[in-house]
Amino acid sequence: MRRAYLRPVMYVIGIMVLAGTLVGARFLVPGAGNGGVPESPDPVKSRLQDSAVLARVGTGPIVLGYVDSSPSMVQYGLPPNMQTGLVSKVFVKEGDLVDADVPLFAFDTSLQEADVQRADAAVAAAEAKLNSAKAAADEHRKKEGLQQQAVDVAKLKFDLSKNSYGVAYANLLDSYKTQGFLESSWPERLAKDPKLMELSNAQKTFEKEWSVELAKLEVLKAAPVDLLAKEAETAIIQAKAEVDKAKAALKLCTVKSHVPGIVERLSVSAGDVMGLGSRSTAVWFVPSGPRIVRAEVEPEFAHRVTIEASLPGAKKREITVFDNADSKISYKGALTRVGTSFLPKRNGGDSLMGNDTRVLECIIEVANWAPKDGPPLRVGQKVRVNFGQ
């Protein structure tokens, strides 16, 4: 009898516990607790109303995020000009605070130094060719001058022989006239005169010599002596460019910090060989500066992030950041940017499988990231971000 009496009571208690569990689970879901505001048929109006309610009642999405530096952490490894390299020296150790342009580690430079020497030798060879081309051009111009003189001499000989022939011809005609020879016999007498024949042959010979010397001068003038010098000058420019390239490659063998920061992790030592297949990072470097949180808002909660906070000139909204392991540790920050696109997560985790989850990334600047009475935020730390402040 007693068991039959207690059974309905136990049923009622069980139903009440189940109902209480369901109601409590609803409020434990991140982003829940919007005060029971009904959805508006208009999607845009619904999001605006939901955002206004969140700002009024002090609730909003609670999402995961990761601490980052601004600028982000830098990973130094193999220089872009090298496929493999032997680490010759490490200049820093873990925890060192360094300024910008400070050497971190260096690779063996034997090959690069040989490339610089080879490029310098190519410059010297190109300059020697230029000097040789200039000397050849000077010699060629001297030859042109001498050939011009030869042309002038040949022309002078031709002119003198022509004058001599003319004088002898005139003298013969005068003698024929004085001696009373018939004028009709003059051509035959002129053609048989040995002296006039000799002068005529000399005139023809000197004319041909003049033509030959003139042709030689034209050949010399047509020679591309200036082109050879220009080619040599171009070769020098190319060789000097190779020198600059080789020196740049040599400079890259010493890896330097780009900004001030701290050497967070050092994974190489002198004697290590790095290559493209190793995919290893030699130095993890955290730049000095403020800390930010990259909050990852999933699509179903994206409309609950305050829209006005991302508009230009709007007042920055205060955000609370909690340590993921201990919610008693919190930090205050300001929402400075709401992403405009859903992109893959930056942190893929330790899973070997790809994660295609798309999130809306929001940036929170944390002012008190290193409080005196608590632990500081560390780059890579997992946190929870409450947008309902």
Any idea where the domains of the chain sit in the sequence? 31-70+289-386, 75-107+253-284, 113-248
Closest of 79, 67, 101, 119 to residue 380, by C-alpha: 67
When pLDDT is averaged across residues 289-304 and rounded to a whole number, the result is 90
Question: What secondary structure letter does DSSP report for 184?
Answer: G
Question: What secondary structure letter does DSSP report for 119?
Answer: H
Q: Is the dihedral of CA 370, 371, 373, 378 positive or negative?
A: negative
Quick check: 48 pLDDT over 50? no
Contact, 101 vs 259, CB < 8 A?
no
CATH 2.40.30.170 given to domain 31-70+289-386? yes
**Of the ranges 25-39, 118-132, 333-347, which is most confident?**
118-132
pLDDT tier at 246, thresholds 50, 70, 90: very high
Strands of the sheet with 273-275, listed across from one edge: 254-256, 103-107, 84-90, 273-275
Q: Which long-range contacts (CB under 8 A, 24 or more apart) does 323-326 make?
A: 323/375, 323/381, 323/383, 323/384, 324/64, 324/381, 324/382, 324/383, 324/384
When pLDDT is averaged across residues 277-285 and rounded to a whole number, the result is 84
Single-letter amino acid code for the residue at 161 = S
pLDDT (0 to 100) of residue 43: 47
Quick check: 100 pLDDT over 50? yes
pLDDT (0 to 100) of residue 56: 42
Closest of 23, 125, 50 to residue 305, by C-alpha: 50
Side-chain-side CA neighbours of residue 152 (13 Å):
6
When pLDDT is averaged across residues 240-256 and rounded to a whole number, the result is 95
Cis peptide before 103 (omega within 30 of 0): no
pTM, entire model: 0.63
Dihedral through CA 96, CA 98, CA 101, CA 102, nearest 10? -40
Q: 227: which 2 tokens?
A: 């082109």
Higher pLDDT, 186 or 271: 271
Quick check: 51 pLDDT over 50? no
When pLDDT is averaged across residues 27-40 and rounded to a whole number, the result is 44
Could you report the per-residue pLDDT of 329-340, keeping only the tens digit for each? 999 999 888 999
CA distance linking residue 140 with residue 221, whole number of Å: 9
Helix, strand or coil, per DSSP, at residue 336: strand
Alpha helices in 223-268 (DSSP H): 225-252
CA distance linking residue 192 with residue 172, whole number of Å: 12
Q: Is the dihedral of CA 110, 111, 114, 119 positive or negative?
A: negative
CATH code of the domain occupying 75-107+253-284? 2.40.50.100
Q: Among 26-30, 254-258, 332-336, which stretch is predicted with the lowest mean pLDDT?
A: 26-30
pLDDT (0 to 100) of residue 5: 57
Could you report the per-residue pLDDT of 61-97, keeping only the tens digit for each? 889 999 999 999 999 999 988 889 999 999 999 999 9
Question: What secondary structure letter does DSSP report for 309?
Answer: G
Question: What secondary structure letter does DSSP report for 314?
Answer: P
Could you report the per-residue pLDDT of 345-383, keeping only the tens digit for each? 887 554 445 567 899 999 999 988 989 888 999 999 999
Higher pLDDT, 2 or 151: 151
Q: Where are the beta strands (DSSP E) in the chain?
A: 62-69, 74-76, 84-90, 97-98, 103-107, 254-256, 261-266, 273-275, 283-287, 291-297, 317-323, 330-344, 358-366, 382-386
CA distance linking residue 232 with residue 126, whole number of Å: 6
What CATH number matches the domain at 113-248, 1.10.287, 1.10.3470, 3.40.50, 1.25.40?
Answer: 1.10.287
> Percentage of the chain with pLDDT > 70?
80
Q: Which residue has the tokens 């001058």?
A: 145
For helices 110-179 and 194-222, the axis angle rounded to 10 degrees is: 160
pLDDT (0 to 100) of residue 317: 76
When pLDDT is averaged across residues 239-247 and rounded to a whole number, the result is 95
